Chain A
Amino acid sequence: MSEHRHDGAAAPRVAVRKTHKLYIGGAFPRSESGRSYPVASADGEHLANAGMASRKDARDAVAAARKAFPGWAGRTAYNRGQVLYRAAEMMEGRRAQFAAELSAATGAGRPEAEREVSAAIDRWVYYAGWTDKAAQVLGGTNPVSGPYDNRSAPEPTGVVAVLAPQDAPLLGLVSVLAPVVAMGNTAVLVASERAPLPAVALAEVLATSDLPGGVANILTGRTAELAPPLAAHADVNALDLAGALDVAGAGDLAADLEEAAAETLKRVLRPDPAVEWEADPGLGRIRPFLETKTVWHPVGT
């Protein structure tokens, strides 16, 4: 094949367009249903087609998260911190992509988008720091009247289904995912329905961050379709409703999900809808996904 046309002009390059897929068990599968849905920018322009996960994809993601849980929970807190910091490093290298996708999704100007990307990267670092410090704050030695040493230590709850906030597609996304995985839980995250592309980019970051496959699983699609099977799933231990507070046309989705989750006594976080994602998050999203183990041990001998 000749590189040049006869008239001398270079042949137009065929565009290499990205397929936006799901992230389950460390791999990037298409939805088992074969569906996708169009994603538009803030001003209504078509951006891409994103995978539209089905309840069976959610089921597969839960199975992957369950499989990954013992290994991830068994890592040292220090090592989990290193892995989260690595995620920040990988995101730093993709600043331009995140800023462009964020700006297209929300209509924010480039400087504002850059600021939010920085905040999202810093959030990984923030939670990387907490991994080996939360136990000292939330646990410790308890004073008891007896010849016992009595200690409480926090342990991860298990598989957490996270509904990412609808209106903060990057900073909100990292702010709900990082605290869950920081303490040794594994997550099945449903991305913002209207702006899922930053979540797909984040999945690519996580896949190159030493985060074991299955620790974080990211689904894109309809929140109102994916959330109910996750809330009712008996092998999911906790539920974060951040993305269920404002879903159009789904009635009182959050209340329905709380009801379904009660059937299996899940831990449910129903956050304040007026949360400022830029503010210091504190321990507010770490504490709800921990269980306290208290041990009595005889003193002496």
Chain B
Amino acid sequence: MPQTAIAAEQAPTNRALREFLHGLPGVDDVGARERAAGLATRSVKTTAKAAALDLAVRMVDLTTLEGADTPGKVRALAAKARRPDPDDPDAPAAAAVCVYSDLVGVAAEAVRGSGVGVASVATAFPSGRAPLEAKLADTRRAVADGATEIDMVIDRGAFLAGDYRKVHEEITAVREACGGAHLKVILETGELATLDNVRRASWLAMGAGADFIKTSTGKVAPAATPPVVLVMLEAVRDNLAATGRAVGVKPAGGIRTAKDAIRNLVMVQEVAGPRWLDPALFRIGASSLLNDLLMQRAKQRTGAYAGPDYFTID
């Protein structure tokens, strides 16, 4: 565990950041894969499964990030987030809807009064290739329109080139532009090449003031693979010990089945600890996952296998 962490207050130099990030212990790649695979074999059944399914539904950031998104589709998605299964009044609501920044107004209107959050991707999602002014304007506009959470992407080009200060400054600037909104920082681990880089990017984002670290945009494969989530969960656990601040984790992309979601929850419990089994500290970015969770809930409730014809398509 690192003895110190990056202080968010001062503007660190590239050299200081490099010393800190490259001083982090290396990730045992094979060990991480083995550990993740081992945890994936845990059996979660009956009442534990029912509780896990409900928790997973409450953790879903119901996401639509397509060029073809319309206000109507966003409203339909918001309705689904508020009441995922109209047949079952006991089904909990999703955590938030996640949309592009120009549709935040529509989404905020549609979830008003329900407790469902509005997350907006910002800062030239998904590539992150835009001038800082444009990224900040994007963020401010989304917050003004009612976004309660901002999902920003880091500049992977700068990160991979070793320009850690630029990444740090961008996150700090967006953090400021967010005002009261929560900031999730997307590392896009599929482009970071190694688990060592995932660990460094996690610490860099946490040090710059991220409320959440998020694996992926969902536009790049591989996305939220189990070893990556494992390394990020270790980072938030160690960060809590080093700084006393609990940062959340959000895997996104590639989690499509209830089984995948439950495996993620097992990792949360075993790696980060039970404190993270809470939508305030763990989210799952997904769209098709929600229907599979609902089908599994229906199976638990009725005893019969459910079919996709009985759930809304979003």
B309 interfacial contact with A, CB 8 Å: yes
Residues from chain A with a CB closer than 8 A to the CB of B305 are 59, 62, 229, 232-235
- The yes or no answer to A263 lying at the interface (CB within 8 A) is yes
A232 touches B308 (CB 8 A): no
By a CB distance below 8 angstroms, the chain B residues around A150 are: none
Q: In the assembly, what is the distance between CA of A229 and CA of B304, in Å?
A: 6
Interface residues of B in 241-280 (CB under 8 A from A): none
Q: Number of A-B pairs whose CB atoms are under 8 Å?
A: 27
Task: Decide if the interface of chain B is mainly helix, strand, loop or mixed.
Answer: loop
Interface members, chain A 227-249 (any B CB < 8 Å): 229, 232-236
Q: Which residues B297-314 have CB closer than 8 A to chain A?
A: 298, 303-310
- Residue A264 is within 8 A (CB to CB) of chain B in the complex: yes
Contact A234 B307, beta carbon cutoff 8 Å: yes
Closest to A260 in B: B304
Contacting residues, chain A, for B307 (C-beta < 8 A): 233-236, 264
Q: Which residue of B lies closest to A58 (CB)?
A: B305
- In terms of DSSP, what is the predominant structure of the interface of chain A? loop
With a cutoff of 8 Å between Cβ atoms, the chain B residues found around residue A233 in the complex are 304-305, 307
Whether A234 and B309, one on each chain, are in contact in the complex, defined by CB atoms closer than 8 angstroms, is yes
Residue of B nearest to A159 (CB): B307
Residues of A contacting B310 with CB < 8 Å? 234
Do the beta carbons of A263 and B304 come within 8 Å of each other?
yes
Q: Tell me the minimal C-beta distance from B234 to chain A in angstroms.
A: 32
CB distance from A265 to the nearest CB of B (A): 11
- In the bound complex, residues from chain A placing their C-beta under 8 Å from that of B298 are 234
CB–CB A235/B309 < 8 A: yes
Residues of A within 8 A of B304 (CB): 229, 232-234, 260, 263-264
Q: How far is the CB of B64 from chain A (nearest CB, A)?
A: 24
**A228 (CB) vs chain B CBs: closest residue:** B304
Complex: A90 Cα to B232 Cα, angstroms: 54
Considering the chains assembled together, what is the distance between the CA atoms of A263 and B305 in angstroms?
12
> Which of B303, B305, B307, B309 has the most chain A CB within a 10 Å cutoff?
B305
Output the least CB separation between B188 and chain A (Å). 30
Name the B residues within 8 Å of A263 (CB-CB): 304
- A236 CB contacts on chain B under 8 angstroms: 307
CA distance A62 to B305 in the complex (A): 10
What separation, in Å, do the CA atoms of A280 and B294 have in the docked complex?
A: 46
- How many angstroms between the C-alpha atoms of A118 and B307 in the bound complex? 39
Q: Chain A contacts of B308 at CB under 8 A?
A: 235
How distant is A103 from chain B, measured CB to nearest CB, in Å?
Answer: 38
How distant is the Cα of A264 from the Cα of B310 in the complex, in angstroms?
Answer: 10
**A280, chain B: closest CB distance, angstroms:** 36
Nearest B residue to A55 via CB reads: B305
| Candidate in B306, B307, B309 with the most chain A CB atoms within 10 angstroms | B307
Closest residue of chain A to B304 (Cβ to Cβ) is A232
- A209-220 Cβ-contact flags toward B at 8 Å (1 or 0): 000000000000
- Chain B residues whose CB sits within 8 angstroms of the CB of A232 once the complex forms: 303-305
Contacting B at CB under 8 A, from A55-99, are 59, 62
Q: Which residues of A contact B306 (CB under 8 A)?
A: 234-235
In the assembled complex, the CB of A113 is this many whole angstroms from the nearest CB of chain B, namely 38
| A62 to B310 alpha-carbon distance, docked (Å) | 16
- Cβ distance B309 to chain A, nearest Cβ, rounded Å: 7
Residues of A within 8 A of B309 (CB): 234-235
A236 → chain B, closest Cβ, in Å? 8
Closest 5 CB pairs of A and B: A235-B307, A234-B307, A232-B304, A233-B305, A234-B306
8 of the cross-chain contacts (CB-CB < 8 Å) are A232-B304, A234-B304, A234-B306, A235-B307, A235-B309, A236-B307, A264-B304, A264-B307
Beyond A59-B305, A234-B305, A235-B309, list 15 extra A-B contacts (CB 8 Å): A62-B305, A229-B305, A232-B303, A232-B305, A233-B304, A233-B305, A233-B307, A234-B298, A234-B306, A234-B309, A234-B310, A235-B306, A235-B307, A235-B308, A264-B307
